[in-house]
Amino acid sequence: MKPSQVTTLEGNEAVAYIAYRVNEVCAIYPITPSSTMAELADQWASEGKTNIWGNIPLVVEMQSEGGAAGTVHGALQTGAMTTTFTASQGLLLMIPNLYKMAGELTSAVLHVAARSLAAQGLSIFGDHSDVAAVRQTGFAQLASSTVQEGHDMALLAQASTLEGRIPFIHFFDGFRTSHEVNKLTLIPDETIRAMIDAEQVRAHRGRGLNPDHPFIRGTAQNPDIYFQARETVNPFYAQLPSIVQQKMDAFAELTGRSYHLFDYFGHPEAERVVVIIGSGAQTLIETVAYLQTQGEKVGVVNVRLCLPFSAEHFIKVLPATVKAITVLDRIKSPGATGEPLYADVVTVLAEAYANGTLPTPAIPRITGGRYGLSSKEFTPAMAKSVLDELKKDKPKNHFTIGIDDDVSHSSLEYDAAFDIEPDEVVRALFIGLGADGTVGANKNSIKIIGESTPLYAQGYFVYDSKKSGSRTVSHVRFGPNPINSPYLIHSASFIGCHQFVFAEKIDVLENAGHGATFLLNSPYGPDEVWDRLPRSLQQEIIDKDIRFYVIDASKVALDTGMGSRTNTIMQTCFFAISGVLPREEAIAKIKESIKKTYGKKGEDVVKKNYIAVDQTLARLYKIDVPKEAKGTIDLPPTVSSKAPEFVQQVTAMMMAGKGDQLPVSMLPIDGTYPSGTTQWEKRNISAFVPIWEPDICIQCGNCSFVCPHGVIRSKFYPETRLKNAPEAFKSAQINARGFPGTRYTLQVYVEDCTGCNLCVEVCPAKSLQQSGVKAINMKPKEPILKQELANIRFFEGIPFNDRSKVDFSSVRGTQFLEPLFEFSGACAGCGETPYVRLLSQLFGDRLIMANATGCSSIYGGNLPTTPWTKNAEGRGPAWSNSLFEDNAEFGLGFRLTADKHLEVAIQLALELKGAVNPALVDQIIEAPQATESQIRDQRIRVAELKAALIVLDTEKAKDLLSVADHLVHRSIWIMGGDGWAYDIGSSGVDHVLASGRNINILVLDTEVYSNTGGQMSKSTPMGAVAKFAAGGKPVAKKDLALQAISYGSVYVARIAMGANPQQTLLALREAEAYPGPSLVLAYSHCIAHGINMEHGLKQQDLAVASGHWPLIRYNPALRESDRNPFVLDSPRPAIKLKDYAFNELRYKMLSRSHPAESEELMKLAQQVVNQKWEIYEEMASGSGSRFHPDASVKQKSKK
Amino acid sequence: MDFTTNYMGLKLQHPIVASAGPLSGTLDGIKRLEDGGAAAVVMFSLFEENIRHENEAFSHLMESGTQSFAESLSYFPDVDSFHVGPDSYLNLLRQASESVKVPIIASLNCVTGEGWIDYAKQMQQAGASGLELNIYSVEADLDATSEEVEQRYLDILATVKSTVKIPVALKLSPFFSAMGHMAKRLDQAGADGLVLFNRFYQPDIDIQALEVKPSLGLSSAGEIRLPLLWIALLHGKLNASLAATRGVEKPDEVIKYLLAGADVVMTTSALLRHGPSYMTVLLDGLKAWMEARRFSSVAQVRGGMSRSKVANPGAFERANYIRELESFQSAYI
């Protein structure tokens, strides 16, 4: 928390700053985009920061938002000032408690970073779907439209709820406000204290449950009184608007910032008015201000207190001159007469008209429209279109703005070129790579300017959908007046392209305004760079009269000892040429900031940065732009012309960043998208790729086994196939016996490689002559790219090896199975995806996957391109994601369908036996399907049956055809991370394991919530630091394996590919083969562990060697032969826990922040490891009779 | 019998000191060294480069993958009190200084001027009785001249001496063209002690894996010759105390070093082999030898075989080299 009055903060921090100060308890759970608020609360608590009463709030992470809501309710009911932070599905999970809290008139504020709800697809971005979904709960709703307002309204909501007793949801737009960095004035503690009535706080406590003054609350009520009791609260809702306004007035007195329930902005005699909630109001305010200067009589009502909706206050702010009103909702209510705000306004105006209280002579024309769903841009151009529409005699109602709805024709057209941003505002766009520090540097620039000059600053950051090699675009504004423009920059005065590769691939100047400054980080100097640009970019520079600067930031970084850190250099360039500050002053401020940031690291680091700044200025060149574009380079097409039509027309648009332009008709109606689209997105994100050395290779398959992105593939084939091979195509004689004249090739898909180096790390084959050379080595891609593309084309012409002829039981064998999960957007070196890819290889052609929300659902299902693909026969994994919390149950549904439809298919087949082929039907029903060749045979039989059924053409035949595919056994998997399996989905996992059904659960255990940024789960080990466990987790990790084993009928395995790949393979195959429920816990190293991801597999090995992650298999089927079902696959711990743990930042940082606690926790953790090992050893010894018999499996086997 | 010894102005109960090594890595280890009988403990070295490296690694890992993906803009809590630096070393030094009675000498290796100053100051504040500057660097840069290397040693010494009041020793490399002259210059520049000699990392080559392998085993008695030679040559010529380190296996090496002129004899290898209580065995051995020869104090023993006192001083010089060659026996000559 900052001591200064004026600072720059993200919206989330601005809100959490207040929430933390005015509460005693926070029960939290991470969900984007609200997580930061909870994280900050936890961090401040761990740092000992206090609330306004001088105590440190208790911050407790729960297992789900449902759990958080329950805890909030409980803490409130016992009198603590309590809050939580959430969004989207999280808010939905709180609904039952929201009714309770409101029904019991409980003073509380929940802070919501408003976000879309998952419907046809999940979206993490902002709209009001979530808050609209809880309108009936009885919570009041107060909205903020800027970062400053978020800060202010958080306090106003708290002050109001204490007096009014109605609980509040305070919300603001997810990402647009929650993640925007802006300059704001902090509310001093004395003002907070002045707003929070101490007597009301004590009254809140006094209403808490207390055995010294007992009462009961939460009774069960009957038809005689429930209804009346429900109506008792009416006076509280009736007086709440006045209370809120009183608090706003008091706040204005204290701070000078004045708010109203409805703030009107515009012409006092406006004829056209828009009503809107949230950040979009700021767009309208700017647009209305501009249009007024053009003589238009327009206005906007910014709704702050959305519920209770005060008709009286609303009517009062409407100019009496208004003739037409449009209400904009950031939500869709399918099938309703209109969206919620529209419905409120219509009702209010209709009632006022009926009552004769309407200030206008006639009821204005009212229309409603939808805008901004899932953070869709809402620009002044769109705002103008909405206002212009109201000029028409018959304006469109129930319209949409910002999209092209060519199906229902709801959309309004708008002039995208309409631009009202004032020239005094410096509008800068920075295009960078996630890893290059561009965003961090821009946040730093905002801080420099926002906090040490009178200028205002705003920053908003756009990230792409991949976790590796992602592009970031920073939208940064600086100016002399407050900046609240809640939309992206479309006419930039400065564009910084921090990676040359973007200039070669995309139109980086698309959003450059006329006369803008363009700064390019280029390996080509001032004399060469022009000729290296695509011709279209050259033309754009000429047409837009761009001032073009170039610097070789990478070279400057290298020469000045900065390594690969180019952020300071690019930041210096920006300050030097943007004119946002006088050059000398700007440079001095950068140096000041460097001193502040790097001071701790030593004088020489500071000096190094200073030299880099000075060198930057000396090596920054302005280019004399030629009058003509004569370039010979063209921007490459987004996808290959060989891509399917959908990919060409739809996916490619999204990939090119032009998804906003796709009309409604181009998009699937029900969220169904084609499989296997990552293959068309050649991302080329690594400059270094593995190169195979056939002469050294022992063909073990380890490299392809561990490849997280499925870019290493192997095939064996007759020598004769090499006849037309490209010259550079590599092969070796296969080294297995019994394959004369057979060649082996290991092909790297170099354009899809992320350069993670895991393959090189795991390669056991070393050159006998050359030090450091293995059978696979990282080398620069550029020199071999062309030849490798030819090689890949040739390699793809060689058929994949026949699955029925591949040895599934060995790691070596699996390299010949086609991966049906490829080129995902996971982090480089991801520890999860090798397991996922392996599953797809083993069972992919009959796999159906239920995927819990999390990393795996994002790299597995985040558009534009998705990695689950299909084989040459058109078969492949069928994948879906329902929610975070319900994945086990969702997958169980898949099983029930499979069981039911198999039963139906068998029944129909028996009924039609005589009409088709009796022997064939018998075979289909009786044939085993345990091996790949048996499955292949079954597929042939089913195909024969289907052919016969088509000929038969009866109703029953058609029925059987609709379910006949089930006659080939499906492999049903439920997959997710530990946040799901250990926490939010724990009860579902438990229930599915207890169901006895043939279902397989794969837990990709990273021991932390990876996707939302490293929050603690119940899988987080003792002593590890995570968000929400900043002081190190004091409790040991839950042993999910032992829990599952306790059922006796569940196959359980704990695996770690980096420690024992063969055991991994064996366990996955056994799990799949086991006819009951299976649970496989897979150690997945993760970027959230704070490791060099290159060494992820080594860490896996150490995790096992230390006893932290003992490899086990529990196979209930072994009980049938009285064998011990519990097998301990790893040897006794050979190293101490700390020898594994202290290679990871998550453990190590505690030893630096709290050394004594770290030592104590590590000691305890070692004891846990020792004790656990004894238990396992004991379980593994002795006879199987000590374990439950598995009756359910016996029955299934008999079936 | 008087075993007391003065090392850089520190009064020690006897001349055997635990040299910088892993045993001083924990408070328990330091206590065990004291209990084992060490007259003083030189703590393991604080390497500025390690701190910098760790700092860099922490920053890198903290920032790795951040600000790239909208849902996970960071992966770790941003804890204010999180600090990578010499804290843990200084805490241990502080605790040790407060918990044990024998002097604790902190050992320092830095790579920057401000590192030497900051850390030396902090070590003094944390209660170190003395400092040992472990100037450990393999001069691999072919452009670095011997003058530059020597000047660096002198500069570091001057820097630290001007920063702290506690005595300062230098642990030296034997690889100076004019070792004696260098020792003299350091002495004149104010060194309170010279520790002879540092053992350098001399990697091995694995002929199977074709890899360079680190190889730093425990020292053995055969390694005492070089320090023995230089202590014998320098004894009596300098104001600085002389500490012998390397190759102490048995009491014999302690006695030899003392005879050559060492003020203190340091060991880690023997203690790692036999445990901290082996210090008593060394001391008892020294005592027995002194008793047998009727020495009443270590001071009498010290330097008895140094160049200035030995019967044939030439034995420490070239003539000795010739004699060694002559006396060398081999099946091949």
DSSP for A737-753 reads TT-TTEEEEEEE-GGG-
Q: Which of A705, A684, A664 is nearest to A813 (CA)?
A: A705
Altogether, the residues listed in chain A come to a count of: 1199
Residues B279-306 pLDDT 10s: 999 999 999 999 999 999 999 999 999 9
Whose tokens are 């080509």? That residue is A524
Two tokens at A440?
């961090």
* Distance set, CA A987 to CA A863, A980, A982, A1040 (Å): 30, 10, 9, 12
* Contact A1025/B at CB under 8 A: yes
Centre a 10 Å sphere on the Cβ of residue B196 and count the other Cβ atoms it contains.
Answer: 27
**Pick the catalytic residue: A65, A296, A540, A832?**
A65
Cis bond before residue A380 (omega within 30° of 0): no
**Do A490 and A354 share a structural domain?**
no
| Residue B112: per-residue pLDDT | 78
- Active-site annotation holds for A32: yes
Q: Which of A181, A1145, A1162 to mutate to test the interface with B (most CBs of B within 10 A)?
A: A1145
- Mean pLDDT in order along chain A per 10 residues (1199 residues): 73 98 97 97 92 97 98 98 98 98 98 98 98 98 98 98 98 98 97 97 97 96 98 98 98 97 98 98 98 98 98 96 98 97 97 93 95 98 98 97 98 96 95 89 93 95 90 96 96 96 94 97 95 96 97 93 86 93 91 83 79 93 95 93 97 95 98 97 93 97 97 97 96 92 97 96 95 96 96 97 91 96 96 98 97 97 97 97 97 98 98 95 96 94 97 96 97 98 98 96 98 96 94 95 95 98 98 96 97 96 98 93 92 96 94 88 97 96 82 54
Q: Which of the listed residues A412, A442, A459 is the one where a domain comes to its end?
A: A412
Query: Are A282 and A485 a contacting pair, CB within 8 Å?
Result: yes
User: How far is Cα A69 from Cα A72, in angstroms, rounded to an integer?
Assistant: 5
**Do A1168 and A1049 share a structural domain?**
yes
| Residue A387: per-residue pLDDT | 98
| Phi, psi (rounded to 5 degrees) for A692 | -85, 140
Check CB contact under 8 Å for A434 and B65.
yes
Task: Give the start-to-end residue ranges of the domains of chain B.
Answer: 5-307
Q: Is residue A1045 exposed (0-12), middle (13-18) or buried (19+ Cβ within 10 Å)? A: buried
| Single-letter amino acid, residue A727 | E
Two tokens at B127?
């209660």
Q: Right CATH number for B5-307 from 3.90.950.20, 3.20.20.70, 3.30.420.10, 1.10.3720.10?
A: 3.20.20.70
Range of A294's domain? 260-412
User: How far is Cα B7 from Cα A657, in angstroms, rounded to an integer?
Assistant: 73
Q: How distant is the Cα of B23 from the closest Cα of chain A, in angstroms? A: 18
Check CB contact under 8 Å for A1152 and B63.
no
**Pick the catalytic residue: A400, A560, A869, A1011?**
A1011
Vertex B257 angle, CA B256 and B258, to 5°? 90
**Do A228 and A91 share a structural domain?**
yes
Q: Is residue A794 part of a domain?
A: yes
| Residue B329: per-residue pLDDT | 55
Query: Which residues, 6+ apart, have CB-to-CB distance to B160 below 8 Å?
Result: B116, B117, B120, B131, B133, B168
Q: How far apart are the first and last CA of chain B?
A: 49
User: How far is Cα B129 from Cα B39, in angstroms, rounded to an integer?
Assistant: 13
| Single-letter amino acid, residue A125 | F
Q: How distant is the Cα of B117 from the closest Cα of chain A, in angstroms? A: 12
Strand partners, A1054: A1081, A1112
Q: Which of A1119, A1123, A1110 is nearest to A1176 (CA)?
A: A1110
Q: Which of the listed residues A793, A817, A841 is the one where a domain comes to its end?
A: A817
Q: How distant is the Cα of A153 from the closest Cα of chain B, in angstroms? A: 25
E strand map for chain B: 5-7, 10-12, 16-18, 41-47, 104-109, 130-134, 168-172, 193-196, 204-206, 211-213, 241-245, 264-267
Centre a 10 Å sphere on the Cβ of residue A454 and count the other Cβ atoms it contains.
Answer: 9
Query: Are A174 and A114 a contacting pair, CB within 8 Å?
Result: yes
Contacts with B, A 41-100, CB within 8 Å? 42-43, 46-47
Contact list in A for residue B53 (CB cut-off 8 A) is none
| Residue A986: per-residue pLDDT | 98
Strands B41-47 and B104-109: parallel
Q: Which of the 8 DSSP states describes residue A909? A: H
Between A33, A179, A1155, which is nearest B91 by CB?
Answer: A1155
Check CB contact under 8 Å for B210 and A470.
no
SS (H, E, C) A110-126: EEEEECCCCCCCCCCCC
Strand partners, B12: B5
* Distance set, CA A125 to CA A118, A795, A1120 (Å): 11, 41, 52
Ramachandran class of A86: left when φ > 0, alpha when ψ lies in -120 to 50, beta otherwise: beta
Two tokens at B118?
């900051």
Q: Is residue A672 part of a domain?
A: no
Q: What is the pTM of this model?
A: 0.93
| Phi, psi (rounded to 5 degrees) for A689 | -135, 160
3-class SS at B226? Answer: helix
Q: Which of A446, A601, A1099, A1162 to mutate to test the interface with B (most CBs of B within 10 A)?
A: A601
Q: Is residue A877 part of a domain?
A: no
**Do A458 and A570 share a structural domain?**
yes
Two tokens at A803?
């699955």
Two tokens at B9?
């102005």
Q: What is the band of B55 on the pLDDT scale with cuts at 50, 70, 90?
A: confident
Query: Are B234 and B194 a contacting pair, CB within 8 Å?
Result: yes
**Do A692 and A646 share a structural domain?**
no
* Distance set, CA A685 to CA A121, A700, B70, B225, B299 (Å): 27, 27, 19, 58, 71
Q: Read off the CATH number of the domain in which A215 is found.
A: 3.40.50.970
E strand map for A297-410: 298-303, 305-307, 324-329, 365-371, 399-401
**Do A328 and A273 share a structural domain?**
yes
Q: How distant is the Cα of A611 from the closest Cα of chain B, in angstroms? A: 17
Q: Is residue A856 part of a domain?
A: no
Give, to the nearest 10 degrees, the angle between helix A567-578 and helix A583-598: 160
Q: Which of the listed residues A227, A254, A281 is the one where a domain comes to its end?
A: A254
**Do A939 and A1052 share a structural domain?**
no
Query: Are A113 and A131 a contacting pair, CB within 8 Å?
Result: no
Check CB contact under 8 Å for B72 and A1012.
yes
Q: Which of A613, A653, A1092, A539 is nearest to B64 (CA)?
A: A1092
* Contact B297/A at CB under 8 A: no
User: How far is Cα A699 from Cα A1098, in angstroms, rounded to an integer?
Assistant: 21
Query: Which residues, 6+ apart, have CB-to-CB distance to A914 below 8 Å?
Result: none
- Active-site annotation holds for A12: no
**Do A1176 and A1111 share a structural domain?**
yes
Two tokens at B53?
């490296």
Whose tokens are 């993200």? That residue is A10
**Do A277 and A214 share a structural domain?**
no
**Do A573 and A535 share a structural domain?**
yes
Check CB contact under 8 Å for B72 and A1011.
yes
Q: What is the total count of domains within chain A? A: 7
Query: Which residues, 6+ apart, have CB-to-CB distance to A311 below 8 Å?
Result: A348, A351, A352
Contact list in B for residue A1011 (CB cut-off 8 A) is 71-72
User: How far is Cα A616 from Cα A569, in angstroms, rounded to an integer?
Assistant: 6
Q: Which of B79, B87, B122, B205 to mutate to test the interface with A (most CBs of A within 10 A)?
A: B79
| Residue A1195: per-residue pLDDT | 54
Whose tokens are 């903020």? That residue is A144
Query: Are A1101 and A1107 a contacting pair, CB within 8 Å?
Result: no
User: How far is Cα B29 from Cα B92, in angstroms, rounded to an integer?
Assistant: 11
Question: Residue B310 above 90 pLDDT?
Answer: no
* Distance set, CA B286 to CA B32, B223, B260 (Å): 21, 20, 14
